[in-house]
């Protein structure tokens, strides 16, 4: 794991030194501050809507940061040819993939911490309530969910050479899962064969990212998800992340890299 | 044409290639498969400076790609320090300098070397002294805190040499190390290779600068169309063929001057 962590360190260093990452981050930060600090005549419902809007924004921003950074990692190494001096050292391709994964995941984690701290501060100052554990749980579950998304994106970056096409496909798939994931099996019942079977199979094999979405619990102040359930979801995310990373390695390990 | 088959048999074989073949799919060839390297067998022993020569497309870079694990051999084997090149451990004691410099431009030379030192698991107590030593050797000590993207081409090439030397390698693989450098840059790189030779390091390098090869190398191999044509000690080849290395090279590759 030493090599994977060293690669992750460089990956994080690149992300905070790149200006495009900053642009996205600062933009999201500003919008969250503005939306979170707005007040509509001290109306409780308006305040809920604002909180919902902020959380949606955090979800979207974190998703875009995670996908765009992960999609670029391996194609950029190949395009800028930095992969050659790196793989000429005692680094295996599995370590390269896991290092890139960890780098993107940790960087996304840093962004999430900043987003949630800001949201908690703004909401707390406005509402005089500090449900810190709820924010922590929401952040943790989103971060765990993003592990699956990043692993999926890294697999996509081995298959699709262009980061833009990979990012677009992954964002469409993730948004699709978030909106339809929970209902796909019900939708399948109304479909003709063989679409019904295909949709049912997809429902059972796809990662259910919507399970990690606890935004409504925060907005409607419904308390915490039991921690054992959070633990189970962590295992669920670990299984899918490992599956996607393994698939990425299986495709990448025999790939010829010509200098 | 092999003037020195059991080259220095008393010394340990550092690099060994046995009947190596590399094929790839090509639209040009009728069968759809082209042989980039055809039955190459080669041994480089401890302390030798070995020149790997051939015209463009002869298979030099492909052979180096196999040695570094970038490309897989279709048949045959290659070993570094007795370990199969497919294993990352085979690359623990080597340093590699690619033809053109490809490093993380968002890092400084110092950060780049620290990253590679981590990969080689150099103890932290030794890392700084190693970085100081290699930066002094390649005369980049003054620019150690500058981002690599601000370096001139010659400086980048020397940064490349520094990263190839960070682990104090026993074998250096250099792919056209003086390519594209000005005369001063070439001289500096040549001086460094000479110094490494005096320190007893094994150097395996490809070059089109035959004058340079004749000066530095103990032994050479000339490849043409993927096949080994000549291998032997430079002094013996020159006296056997009664010509200099450049004339021998042209003869071996079948060059016919226009009348």
In tens, the pLDDT along A210-225 reads 999 888 888 777 888 8
Pick the residue from chain B with its C-alpha nearest to A255.
B71
pLDDT confidence band for A121 (50 / 70 / 90): confident
Residue B210 CA: distances (Å) to CA of A95, A132, A219, B218, B232: 39, 70, 74, 13, 15
Residue B65: closest CA among B17, B106, B109 = B17
- Of the candidates B70, B100, B120, which has its C-beta nearest A87's C-beta? B70
Residue B25: is its pLDDT beyond 80?
Answer: no
Which tokens sit at A210?
Answer: 């919507």
Average pLDDT across chain A, whole number: 86
pLDDT confidence band for B56 (50 / 70 / 90): confident
* Tokens 């390649």, residue located: B138
A183 alpha carbon, distance to own chain's centre: 21
Torsion, CA A14, CA A20, CA A21, CA A23, rounded to 10: 140
Residue B67: closest CA among B40, B47, B105 = B40
pLDDT at B4: 45
| For chain B, percent of residues with pLDDT exceeding 70 | 93
**List of chain B residues whose C-beta atoms are within 8 Å of the C-beta of residue A13:** 106-107, 111
A59-98 pLDDT tens trace = 888 999 899 999 999 999 888 889 999 999 999 999 999 9
| For chain A, percent of residues with pLDDT exceeding 70 | 92
ipTM of the complex: 0.85
Residue A18: is its pLDDT beyond 90?
Answer: no
**Are A256 and B111 inside 8 Å of each other by CB?**
no
B182-216 pLDDT tens trace = 788 788 888 888 888 888 889 998 988 888 888 88
In angstroms, the CA B45 to CA A225 distance is 65
Q: How close is the nearest chain A Cα to the Cα of B257, in Å?
A: 31
pLDDT confidence band for B3 (50 / 70 / 90): very low
Residue A147: closest CA among A230, A12, A74, A238 = A238
For chain B, what percentages of helix, strand and coil (3-state, to nearest 5) are there?
35, 25, 35
Burial readout A227-258 (b: 16 or more C-beta within 10 A, e: otherwise):
eeebeebeebbeebbeebbebbbeebeeeebe
Instruction: Answer whether A76 touches B (CB < 8 Å).
Output: no
- Name the pTM for this structure: 0.88
Mean pLDDT of B87-98: 89
Q: How close is the nearest chain B Cα to the Cα of A167, in Å?
A: 23
B259 vs B70, which has greater pLDDT? B70
In angstroms, the CA A186 to CA A180 distance is 10
- The continuous run of DSSP H or E covering B96 comes out as strand B94-97
Which tokens sit at B224?
Answer: 């043409």
């Amino acid at each position: 794991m030493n090599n994977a962590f060293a690669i992750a360190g460089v990956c994080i260093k690149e992300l905070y030194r790149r200006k495009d990452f900053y642009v996205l981050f600062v933009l999201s930060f500003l919008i969250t501050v503005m939306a979170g600090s707005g007040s509509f005549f001290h109306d409780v419902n308006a305040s809920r809507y604002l909180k919902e809007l902020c959380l949606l924004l955090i979800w979207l921003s974190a998703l875009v940061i995670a996908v765009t950074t992960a999609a670029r990692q391996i194609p950029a190494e190949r395009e800028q040819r930095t992969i050659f001096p790196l793989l000429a050292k005692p680094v295996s391709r599995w370590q390269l993939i896991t290092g890139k994964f960890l780098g993107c995941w940790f960087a996304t984690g840093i962004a999430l911490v900043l987003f949630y701290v800001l949201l908690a501060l703004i909401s707390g100052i406005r509402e005089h309530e500090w449900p810190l554990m709820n924010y922590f749980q929401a952040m943790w579950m989103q971060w765990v969910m993003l592990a699956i998304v990043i692993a999926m994106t890294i697999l996509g970056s081995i298959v699709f050479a262009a980061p833009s096409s990979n990012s677009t496909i992954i964002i469409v798939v993730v948004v699709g899962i978030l909106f339809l994931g929970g209902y796909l099996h019900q939708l399948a019942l109304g479909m003709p064969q063989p679409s019904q079977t295909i949709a049912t199979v997809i429902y059972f094999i796809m990662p259910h990212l919507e399970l990690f979405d606890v935004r409504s619990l925060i907005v409607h102040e419904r308390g915490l998800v039991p921690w054992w359930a959070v633990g189970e979801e962590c295992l669920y995310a670990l299984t899918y992340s490992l599956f996607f990373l393994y698939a990425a390695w299986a495709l990448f390990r025999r790939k010829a890299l010509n200098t | 044409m092999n003037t020195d088959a059991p080259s220095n048999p008393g010394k340990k074989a550092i690099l060994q290639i046995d009947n190596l073949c590399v094929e790839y799919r090509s639209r040009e060839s009728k069968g759809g498969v082209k042989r980039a390297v055809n039955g190459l067998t080669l041994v480089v022993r401890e302390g030798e400076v070995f020149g790997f020569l051939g015209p463009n497309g002869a298979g030099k870079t492909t052979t180096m790609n196999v040695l570094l694990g970038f490309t897989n051999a279709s048949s045959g084997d290659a070993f570094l320090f007795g370990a199969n090149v497919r294993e990352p451990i085979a690359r623990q004691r080597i340093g590699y300098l690619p033809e053109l410099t490809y490093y993380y431009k968002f890092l400084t030379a110092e950060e780049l070397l620290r990253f590679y030192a981590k990969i080689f698991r150099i103890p932290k107590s030794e890392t700084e002294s190693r970085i100081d030593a290699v930066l002094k050797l390649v005369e980049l000590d003054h620019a150690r805190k500058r981002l690599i993207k601000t370096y001139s081409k010659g400086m980048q090439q020397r940064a490349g040499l520094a990263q190839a030397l960070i682990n104090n390698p026993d074998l250096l693989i250099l792919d056209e190390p003086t390519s594209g450098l000005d005369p001063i840059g070439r001289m500096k790189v040549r001086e460094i290779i000479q110094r490494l030779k005096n320190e007893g390091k094994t150097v395996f390098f490809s070059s089109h600068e035959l004058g340079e090869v004749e000066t530095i190398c103990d032994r050479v191999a000339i490849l043409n169309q993927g096949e080994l044509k000549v291998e032997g000690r430079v002094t013996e080849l020159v006296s056997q063929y009664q010509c200099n290395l450049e004339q021998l090279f042209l003869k071996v590759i079948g060059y016919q001057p226009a009348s």
